[in-house]
Amino acid sequence: MDYSELVTPQMLEILLPTLGFSIVMNVLLLAALFFRSLRGWLFGQVYTYWLSLRMTARSNH
């Protein structure tokens, strides 16, 4: 079976940034578990990002 036909360049354009974002977020969350000083900053960033996503989704309706 030829696997090159299963994954197209268009699929990789979507999958690779998503995978990279997932890895970065997992590393940051793991670091937040171990370092208390990072925890407040990280959750502030995640909360701001979440609010901006909600406002963008709401403005597109």
d(CA 49, CA 29): 15
Residue-wise pLDDT tens digits, 2-56: 677 788 888 888 889 889 989 988 988 888 777 777 777 878 888 888 888 888 8
- Host domain of residue 48: 3-59
Q: What DSSP character marks residue 8?
A: -
The pLDDT of residue 6 is 82
Q: Is 8 left (phi over 0), alpha (psi -120 to 50) or beta?
A: beta
State pTM to two decimals.
Answer: 0.48
The pLDDT of residue 1 is 61
Our count of domains for the chain comes to 1
The pLDDT of residue 23 is 92
The pLDDT of residue 61 is 61
Side-chain-side CA neighbours of 32 within 13 Å: the count stands at: 14
